[in-house]
Structure 1
Amino acid sequence: MVALVGAPNAGKSTIFNALTGLRVKTGNYPGVTVGRSQGSCTLPDGTAVDVEDLPGTYSLEPISIDERIVVDLLHGRLDGVGEPGAVVVVADATTLRTSLRLLAGVLALGRPTALVLSMHDELVARGGRLDLDRLARAVGIPVVIADGRKRSGAAELRDLLPGWATWTAPVVAPPTDPEGCTSWIGSVLTTAGYSSAQESALTARIDRVLLHPVAGVAVFFAVMFGFFQTIFALAAPAQDAIGTGIERLATAVTGTFGDSAPVRLVSDGLLGGVGGVLVFVPQIALLFVLIAALEQVGYLSRAAFLMDRVMALAGLEGRAFVALLSSFACAIPGIMATRTMPSARERLATMLSVPLVTCSARLPVYTLLISMLIPADARWAGMSARGATMFGLYLLGAVSMMLAARVATLVGGARHTLMPFTMEMPPYRLPALRSVVVAVWLPVKGFLHKMGTVIVASTIVLWALLNLPVQSAAELRSHGVDPGDGSAVAAYTMEHSVAAGIGRAASPVFDPLGFDWRTNVAVISSLAARETFVATMGQITAASDPSDPSQALEDTTFDRGPHAGEPVFTSATLAALLVFFVYALQCMATIATLRRETGGWRWPLTVFGAYFALAWAMAFLAHTAVGAFA
């Protein structure tokens, strides 16, 4: 096994991707919930070697969980992982001094080591200088120039890997004490004729704005606002095309194979349910395209620096913003990102609060409800009202996360003196297409996998609950339903199904929020995964009106009780649903991750109950307020 080691933003992961392509296995290190990426690299002789992409670290003196993992793996102390046969240290040529301290620690271990320089082209373009041969002689190990973004140098590194047992090594390992290491670094840089890259005048002018405590924050919110405007505007045509295709396919299935139970399972259950979620893949893909682009351009590092002051208001540090950013994809990597935080109390506070950040699983729910609440052509100050509402929901989730973290730090007694937050400011770069594709494909693949497993399973179970017990022809006739009228039979069966019984049993809890039994079933089903709410509503409406399920959803009325015949999805109810999903912890996978991270059920169950109560209370306020003005 070859271990890749490097500082954050050194280009380690892009080189890992260049070596392994998409032959990557992800998981956790044994016994800990620190994420790992392991891939297979095919060598020139046709053999393969495992490559381990270790978490980013600045030194081998760990202050956080992920840095401890790096040290333990390099020392061969991780059961089930094994010792690395060789270590490849990836260093950003534009910030070489920082990486040499890490290299000194790795060389002291005595393992075969090579140095890979990334961003060498940027060093030269920005007026820096480095003699590669003299650097190799100074450090005493092989040195290769590689750029994972352009896939240059990957072949040279592959050629180097087979002979790691014969790699050169320094005659004397560099000192690891602070003073001796500093002297060694200075000697290496002098010998290599190294001169650092000059910051461009354009970068300096941009940073004067983007890092300004007032102007920078204003730009940040403007970027985020435009972010969500773009998601709605660009994804709409693809969504419409997918939705139309699914509806036509469902109609074709019914028209070809008739109206039997297995056919309804496919047309109403799978196509109506899973297809209802598939519609939102373009928005999710676009979300990750924009996040990857902002990250690779170099803007997100600046945003983290800006938000360090904001995080401090919540009793947290800038590393918490990294967890917040990770949670836009999913709360699980957001929770795992807290491993970079040195304080156990602040880490716990961040873990318990990041589920409030709007993850990609909420995106289909928000899109569905916002589309029902706000007309497509509605504009606010010339901007799309739908995009502005989506931005507001994301902002509400982020602010709520910080408020929850503040409460958690106060209750937990977290210290108020925060650790210094260190983050390299990468130069502004054009995004590399391959890196963007990889960054988008992996989460979209995960979403599709979830859709093909959790959501399909939930859809099949729900279809059965909506169609049981089976109504006999005599029973249907006794209630005035023509057994030959498929739509009437489907409506009657659904209203008297097991699922309807479950939904009505939950009515005392959700009636004050304006929900009916169908909405209750969808909310309960979303405990498996939030997207299941959309699948459930799609399945129910596809069963009641296969020709136009979206219109059937808008036309849904209460079937009994004091509001019988009145529309279910009023403005007040839609607002209540949106707010409910902002706060409710509707994700079993997140709860399971919290249990593993905290070592028990105490905190996950506490957070689940607290967030459900908060979601109900805030949804009730939203329903009352909107109902008063609607």
Structure 2
Amino acid sequence: MLRVAIIGNPNTGKTTLFNALTGLRQRVGNFAGVTVERVEGGFKGPDGRRITVLDLPGSYSLSAGSPDEQVALEVLLHRDADRWTPDVVLVVIDAVHLERNLFLASQVLELGIPVVIALNQFDVAQDEGIAIDVPELIHELGVPIVPTVAKRGEGLDPLKRALITAASLPAPARKFVLPADVEDALAPLKSCLVEAGLTPTAAGMEALRLLSVSKSEPHLVTVPQLQVQIQDAMATLKNRGFTPNRLESEVRYAWIAGVIERTVSRPRTIKQNLSDQIDRIALHRVLGPVIFLVLMAVVFQAVFSWATPLMDGIEVLIGALGGAVGDRMADGDLKSLVVDGVFGGVGSVLVFLPQIAILFAFITLLEHSGYMARAAFLMDRIMRTVGLHGKSFIPMLSGYACAVPGVMATRTIEDPKDRLATIMVVPLMSCSARLPVYTLLIGAFVPATSLIPGLTLQGATMLGMYLLGTVAALAVAAIFKRTLLKGPVRPMILELPPYRLPSAWSLLVSVAQRCQLFLRRAGTVILALSIVLWAMATYPKSAVDASLPAEAQQEQQLEHSVLGQIGHAIEPVVRPLGYDWKIGVSIAASFAAREVFVSTMGTIYGVGSENEAALTEKLVAETNPVTGQRVYTPLVAIGLMVFYVFALMCISTVAVTVREAGGGALGWKWATIQFGYMLVLAYVAAWIVYAGGTALGWGG
């Protein structure tokens, strides 16, 4: 087996190339001891050998300034906790921005590992009139270089052959010569690193890199005398007229300038490219935010309108399966478990898979097309008013899909206080797990009235829930940045990548991975909870009035079950919000995962062999047996959605917050603060909606 680590600057098409090489044969996890996502895949090489590929986090350099860059450095220096040692490093370079990308490549060339360079987006460079002399560039760098167009799969076969060939070639070395005074000053530091286990070539790269490191890196703390050697080297260099913290960038870019001069020719007149023309409108002070809002409205309207046929199909399929299974089983508890517990619980959540897939597709499209960075730029002005900058909006926008990767995405934020403030508010962004709750309640209680062409009241309500979470996140961030996490607002440095048409295959892979995670969750957590809830709703058995209709008998049994008793105990707490005990039980159960609210409702109302429309009908028809009033009204539905906008109901998010916020007691402290303030906010906001609406006469 051949192990290949793939690395590159952000926006080089690295992930698209990784997806093109490995397809759906990927597994996602975390690097040992950290929450940095680890994506690994594989393919069969031309010689039949199995090639495993590890997609390292995108990095502009091996600076280890953030957790993801530190992980990349650990792997490349053979110090990964999992002992994942690459045989070959594949460096992905953007052919249009060769000069900037060669900085990282020059560092990797000095690590003592065979290297292959993918000159990606080669077609874009040609379209812009940039001519790259690839044979001369190979001569300059001394490693195999393959032009590729990842989104179209061009150059993949030569790239696979180059990886196999490179594994048997000598490792490259530094391509430029340091001044003798610099080599002499760095010699003791280099010897110290060699004694710590680095190869001589990697030690040379590290010695030069450490001159610009402003603070001690965790993986170097245990190296004896390292800090002393760094300080001695810096003092010696200063005495000899050098500026230590600028030395690496100066010598590398001086070498890169010579390489570019000998290998690249550009047109004399630079015409404004398409991205610049689009940005004149997309980044306009007035039109830009309007366009962003319109895009979000389109997304949430599509979640309703586009998904409906697919949802109807899944409803029919689940109903047919539930009916077919139920017809072949004798009446009794086992049949009830399968039909009401499994099909009623899990089936009522699975029906929302098309909506979740559409939401993930839009989020992925925004990321891969280059618009996500523009959204951060547009939001920078607003974010600064709350004490953050636009870069914090990227994890928040990712939180629309799922809070877990959103929290993990904060690792690109350099300032610890800004990072922690962003972590604390990311879960307020309405994630895909809230979609089943929103869709169920909006579909039941909000009419599909057309507001403007292409936008209905249902889509506008959905957009309103997402905007409410976003505004609340900004307000809470402002409070944190003015109290517990007070600090200066730092300037935002963010690259705006060119607009690109995303690869259909890469888009498919990303959406398929997220849908797979949702299905796994439905088949494990939600299934287990549905079975437990069914048992709690079924036992203990109680005597029922046989003269009553079947639904009334079921209601009697539910009242006296364990679930009913727990619900009545919870009811005084949720009654001020306008909820009955059934809603209270569903809320309590969904603290494990928000989707469980819908599956709990499906179990309570026994709609296992029917479709999702049956659950909607039962909610609309539900009345209080004492007063005869409807339990669910539009006001109650809005208040319930508002509760779910604010409440943190996701064990996975709590766990990742603990780890990202520092781990141990410190991590638990911030996770507790996060869970507590969100629960209080949810309860108070829901009460204001219900009490205020009732006072205005909207409770009917």
- What is the TM-score when the length of structure 1 is the normalising length? 0.94
Cα distance change of structure 1 residues 276 and 199 upon mapping to structure 2, 3 Å threshold: farther
Aligned to 1:346: 418
Cα distance change of structure 1 residues 487 and 259 upon mapping to structure 2, 3 Å threshold: farther
Cα distance change of structure 1 residues 549 and 364 upon mapping to structure 2, 3 Å threshold: closer
* Alpha-carbon separation, structure 2, partners of 1:30 and 1:142: 32
* Alpha-carbon separation, structure 2, partners of 1:199 and 1:461: 65
Aligned to 1:604: 671
Q: Is 2:633 the partner of 1:570? A: yes
- Pick from 512, 520, 538: which aligns with 2:576? 512
Cα distance change of structure 1 residues 96 and 451 upon mapping to structure 2, 3 Å threshold: same
Aligned to 1:557: 623
- Pick from 508, 512, 527: which aligns with 1:456? 527
> How big is the shift at 1:97?
1.2
| 2:420 counterpart letter in structure 1 | L
> How big is the shift at 1:518?
0.7
Aligned to 2:128: 126
* Alpha-carbon separation, structure 2, partners of 1:170 and 1:84: 15
Task: Note the 1:299-448 alignment, pairs <5 A.
Answer: 299-376=371-448, 378-382=449-453, 383-423=455-495, 425-448=496-519
> How big is the shift at 1:76?
1.6
Deviates more, 1:551-560 or 1:485-494: 485-494
> How big is the shift at 1:184?
0.8
* Alpha-carbon separation, structure 2, partners of 1:278 and 1:544: 12
Aligned to 1:494: 558
RMSD: 2.0
* Alpha-carbon separation, structure 2, partners of 1:270 and 1:508: 30
Aligned to 2:101: 99
Cα distance change of structure 1 residues 369 and 17 upon mapping to structure 2, 3 Å threshold: same
Aligned to 1:625: 692
| 1:626 counterpart letter in structure 2 | G
* Alpha-carbon separation, structure 1, partners of 2:123 and 2:114: 27
Cα distance change of structure 1 residues 269 and 457 upon mapping to structure 2, 3 Å threshold: same
Contact kept, 8 Å, 1:305 with 1:318, in 2: the verdict is: yes
* Alpha-carbon separation, structure 2, partners of 1:126 and 1:544: 59
Task: Note the 1:82-481 alignment, pairs <5 A.
Answer: 82-167=84-169, 172-174=174-176, 177-195=248-266, 200-376=272-448, 378-382=449-453, 383-423=455-495, 425-471=496-542, 475-476=543-544, 480-481=545-546
Cα distance change of structure 1 residues 200 and 295 upon mapping to structure 2, 3 Å threshold: farther
SS in 2 for 1:430: coil
Aligned to 1:41: 43
Cα distance change of structure 1 residues 171 and 192 upon mapping to structure 2, 3 Å threshold: same
* Alpha-carbon separation, structure 2, partners of 1:545 and 1:159: 54
* Alpha-carbon separation, structure 2, partners of 1:172 and 1:607: 48
| 2:158 counterpart letter in structure 1 | E
> How big is the shift at 1:199?
5.6
**Unpaired runs of at least 5, structure 1:** none
Contact kept, 8 Å, 2:537 with 2:563, in 1: the verdict is: yes
* Alpha-carbon separation, structure 1, partners of 2:385 and 2:27: 38
Cα distance change of structure 1 residues 417 and 374 upon mapping to structure 2, 3 Å threshold: closer
* Alpha-carbon separation, structure 2, partners of 1:133 and 1:172: 19
Contact kept, 8 Å, 2:396 with 2:429, in 1: the verdict is: yes
| 2:688 counterpart letter in structure 1 | L
- The CA deviation string for residues 177-229 of structure 1, in whole angstroms up to 9 with x for no partner, is 22211111111111113438956554332110111222211111111112211
Give % identity.
40
SS in 2 for 1:110: coil
SS in 1 for 2:606: helix
Cα distance change of structure 1 residues 546 and 487 upon mapping to structure 2, 3 Å threshold: farther
Contact kept, 8 Å, 2:373 with 2:394, in 1: the verdict is: no
Cα distance change of structure 1 residues 49 and 80 upon mapping to structure 2, 3 Å threshold: same
| 1:596 counterpart letter in structure 2 | R
Contact kept, 8 Å, 1:55 with 1:66, in 2: the verdict is: yes
> How big is the shift at 1:363?
0.8
Contact kept, 8 Å, 2:423 with 2:657, in 1: the verdict is: yes
- Pick from 621, 644, 649: which aligns with 1:586? 649
Aligned to 1:68: 70
Contact kept, 8 Å, 2:322 with 2:609, in 1: the verdict is: no
* Alpha-carbon separation, structure 2, partners of 1:95 and 1:189: 11
Contact kept, 8 Å, 1:328 with 1:357, in 2: the verdict is: yes
| 1:273 counterpart letter in structure 2 | G
Contact kept, 8 Å, 1:141 with 1:168, in 2: the verdict is: no
SS in 1 for 2:488: coil
Runs of 4+ in structure 1 deviating by more than 6 angstroms, as ranges, are none
Contact kept, 8 Å, 1:356 with 1:583, in 2: the verdict is: yes
* Alpha-carbon separation, structure 2, partners of 1:173 and 1:545: 69
> How big is the shift at 1:73?
1.7
Deviates more, 1:235-244 or 1:350-359: 235-244
SS in 1 for 2:150: coil
Deviates more, 1:189-198 or 1:144-153: 189-198
Deviates more, 1:240-249 or 1:129-138: 240-249
| 2:136 counterpart letter in structure 1 | R
> How big is the shift at 1:170?
5.2
Length, aligned pairs only: 618
Contact kept, 8 Å, 1:318 with 1:421, in 2: the verdict is: no
Cα distance change of structure 1 residues 252 and 165 upon mapping to structure 2, 3 Å threshold: closer
- Pick from 9, 12, 15: which aligns with 2:14? 12
* Alpha-carbon separation, structure 2, partners of 1:171 and 1:413: 45
> How big is the shift at 1:374?
0.7
> How big is the shift at 1:587?
0.7
SS in 2 for 1:458: helix
Contact kept, 8 Å, 2:20 with 2:153, in 1: the verdict is: yes
**Unpaired runs of at least 5, structure 2:** 179-207, 209-247
Cα distance change of structure 1 residues 172 and 487 upon mapping to structure 2, 3 Å threshold: closer
SS in 1 for 2:340: helix
- The CA deviation string for residues 413-451 of structure 1, in whole angstroms up to 9 with x for no partner, is 43213143222x232222321011112111111111100
Contact kept, 8 Å, 1:481 with 1:488, in 2: the verdict is: no
Deviates more, 1:298-307 or 1:455-464: 298-307
Cα distance change of structure 1 residues 198 and 252 upon mapping to structure 2, 3 Å threshold: farther
Cα distance change of structure 1 residues 194 and 58 upon mapping to structure 2, 3 Å threshold: farther
- What is the TM-score when the length of structure 2 is the normalising length? 0.85
Deviates more, 1:551-560 or 1:263-272: 551-560
Aligned to 2:60: 58
SS in 1 for 2:676: helix
* Alpha-carbon separation, structure 1, partners of 2:460 and 2:286: 22
Contact kept, 8 Å, 1:491 with 1:543, in 2: the verdict is: no
Contact kept, 8 Å, 1:490 with 1:543, in 2: the verdict is: no
SS in 1 for 2:7: strand
> How big is the shift at 1:468?
0.7
* Alpha-carbon separation, structure 2, partners of 1:411 and 1:570: 39
- Pick from 665, 682, 697: which aligns with 1:615? 682
